[in-house]
Amino acid sequence: MFWDSLNSALDVMTHWETYLVVSVYLFSLLIPSILIFLILKKKHALHIKYFRRLFLPILESIAIAVAVLTLFPIIFGVGDDAQWGFPIRAMKLSPGSVLGLVGILLVVAYIIDVIPKLRKLQSIKTLVLGSICLIFAGIFVSFINPVIETDLTSFIPGFWFICGIIATSAVLSKVGHFVFVSFTRELGNKFNLREDVAELLILPIIATMGFLPVFIYGAWL
């Protein structure tokens, strides 16, 4: 079952809209982060370490929610096109539910972010946040289409599948951590950037690697 889901996840990555959505996700993290950081730095309002801990989880939560809700037809294998208007439609139909989703994502993101060892395992963080969004998408679709019945237990995969997806996320996180250390050192040497500044720029890029486990879980659903 895991390998079938992996193959389906790789099929998701053959859609050009997948890369477009992931690119939008990445830029929606990088551009606001850089702009807010430059403004705060100019006014000496907030140290970058606290800026990242306060603002980045908010941006991550909103960005991952929009990305997954846009791609869910492709991830679930029920369509070949992304639904660019679905996040806004969901907000109009049930603003409380969407705000609740973002609130849950925020809490989880903050919890992960305050744990040093988990903070740099961006693939696992993306998997957790993305999986929550997929569960929400499944429930919401059944809400607007009563013909589709949803059982909460259907969102919990088997033991070996969980082991497989966690192992995949762990490998990607290790690769991401290696890239993080290498690029931090390189950026520090070439541009005289402190580690915390380099972390602000590199971690969102590494986070995109976590979309593969999200696609695997979505294929299983």
Condensed to tens digits (0 to 9), the pLDDT of residues 143-186 reads 776 555 555 557 888 888 888 888 888 888 777 767 766 766 66
Nearest to 217 by CA among 145, 152, 161: 161
12-51 exposure pattern, b = at least 16 Cβ within 10 A, e = fewer = beebebbeebbeebbebbeebbeebbeebeeeeebeeeeb
Which residue segment(s) compose the domain that 62 sits in?
Answer: 2-220
93-123 exposure pattern, b = at least 16 Cβ within 10 A, e = fewer = eeeeebeebbebbbebbeebbeeeeebbbbb
pLDDT of residue 104: 94
Q: What is the count of structural domains for the chain?
A: 1
What number is the average pLDDT over the span 184-208?
Answer: 68
Per-residue DSSP letter, 84: T
Average pLDDT, the chain: 81
pLDDT of residue 171: 84
pLDDT confidence tier of residue 198, bands split at 50, 70 and 90: low
Give the percent of the chain with pLDDT over 70: 78
Reported as a single tens digit per residue, the pLDDT across 12-33 is 988 999 999 999 998 888 887 7
pLDDT confidence tier of residue 190, bands split at 50, 70 and 90: low
pLDDT confidence tier of residue 105, bands split at 50, 70 and 90: very high
pLDDT confidence tier of residue 107, bands split at 50, 70 and 90: very high
Is pTM beyond 0.75? Reply is yes
pLDDT > 60? residue 77 = yes
Reported as a single tens digit per residue, the pLDDT across 114-142 is 877 776 677 888 889 999 999 998 888 87
